[in-house]
Structure 1
Amino acid sequence: MLIVCPSCATSYMIEPASVGPNGRAVRCARCRSTWFVSPSKTAETPNVSAFVNGVIAEAEAEAQNGNIESAPPVFDSSPSTAPEPPAEEPPSLAPRSDAAFEPQAGEPSHEPQAYETQTEQQADGAPPVFADDGSMPPMVADAPSLVPDGDSDDTANYAARRARMRAKQQKNRRNTRWTALILILFAVNIAIIAGRHKIVRYLPQTASLFASIGLPVNLRNLEFDNIKISKEMQDGVSILIIEGKIVNTVGSATDVPRLRFAARNASGQEVYTWSMQATRSILGPGESLPFVSRLAAPPADAVDILVRFFTKQDAASGLK
């Protein structure tokens, strides 16, 4: 973008971004005059540049013919009694070697190229093109960085701490899940053990499972005690005698069912079965009831006798 001082006609090439969307006040580095530059000047840049180029071409032609002793200013909006310094050579748009304008605090460090038609003002120590007179809006500071301050070692330490924290959180979550699972299994086991009587009542096949882990289930609340097996001869006939006691194991009255006896051979197969009714049908809390059963002419291959209570399955099989 090309701007021209309205007082001394010195021209400058600047970046349009340095003017801003609302325009700004600038100061000429040569005559120290101040004027306001608006963004609309951007559209006028080609016309001003063409006009200045025409003036420069005319000045060069007159210098070659020797008809000019000094180059008057292109524009002179304010009267001045001081004579213009003689120009030894035609003005040119030479780039400035110093900074085009002084950046404000917090502004980016870009420096636009500046040009002027008077080469006498290119000496070292020339004042800046722009000077802040307090009317320019402050520049927006850069957004703060999301990366923590510090050198690369601090950044690495920060990342390592974050990684350790995530690993610790994951480990705590895993431990919490395992703890919850163990508590659930423990509660399930307690419930099964406490309610094993109901489980066996509805699933009789589980009775052997509980018995194998040392938790036998007695649904009848009755036990056999002091079982004895003996033999005797009467009139030349062998008599097998089974005797013992039935004990109530709970603190309430319990019905006493029929007793079932089974003679088994060496392989564990039942070779003969029979049953008998106890002398009492109900036992009070903690009471016991003795019983005796005799079998005449037992099977020759019978090696032991199994005693238990009569069940519904036995009734279905036709055993009396």
Structure 2
Amino acid sequence: MKIKCPHCSTSYEIKAEALGPEGRSVKCAKCGNRWFVSSEDEEDLEPISKAGTDKTSNDTAADAAGADRDEADWAADAREETLDTGPDEDLDGEEEPEAFSPTFTAPETAADEDRFAADMESEQDEDDSGVESDIESHAKRPKIVVNPDKFRKDQIGAVMRWLARRNYKRVGGLALFGAALAVCTVLVLMRNDIVKQSPDLASLFRLVGLDVNLRGLEFRNLRTFTEDESGKTVLVVEGSIRNLLEEPNTVPAVRLSIRNAGSQEIYAWTVEPRTQSLNGLDETRFRTILADPPNESSDIQVRFVDRGRRQVVLE
């Protein structure tokens, strides 16, 4: 079928399949004009193209005949003027007749049709490839699955990678220091239970300045002073015993020892308080009097002992 550019009237021979069932836009290879050609115009274009072809052939023949007649007339006029003027007349100023040729020759039209067909094929290929790529991309699109634990796993993995990049010696030193600190904390907080299982460790805790209280009792408000009683000097020691536990606790005996300036024990005695049991966080008082204390006494040591162990030592 043939189509004609509405702008420059250039005709092109194309295949009907190139338009498709819905038609398409085409571009003139000569003037660059674009217009839409539908498949419905196929039947109308063929008769018009045939009539146009016949009319064009008739016009061409008529133009050719007219041109022949014009050339004959011009030749006759030239002969007459030559006879009238003679051979010596100067004809330099006259212009020779020009032969008119059609504006669009057959080779040019064929080349335009070839370019037009190539443009249509390239555009069709681009459209087909675009549609196929779109369909393929939609068909192979993967399903998106959201993993709620991904962020948490990424955080753990990032921490592990950060630790792996660190210096292993430094990490090992920090781990060892943390373990030692944890062990020391446990020993300090649970020293009473540890000494109950291993009494020999009490000296170790005292060496570092930590007291070990296995009984859950403590002395408070201890006071020592001397008095004259019946013309004799007596040593008075008094204070209170407090239960540190929140549950009832038995009250043991109290052992007192007098030491000299060299921290040597020179005299000791034991006192059993009247109260034998204390409620939680409760306390009781005790008082003892020693007649005629040693003159070389420097200080007094007080500690708990089991009841029934009465000792009086004089050195």
> TM-score range, shorter-chain basis?
0.3 to 0.5
Q: Which has the greater radius of gyration?
A: 2
In proportion to residue count, which structure has more helix? Answer: 2
TM-score (norm 1): 0.42
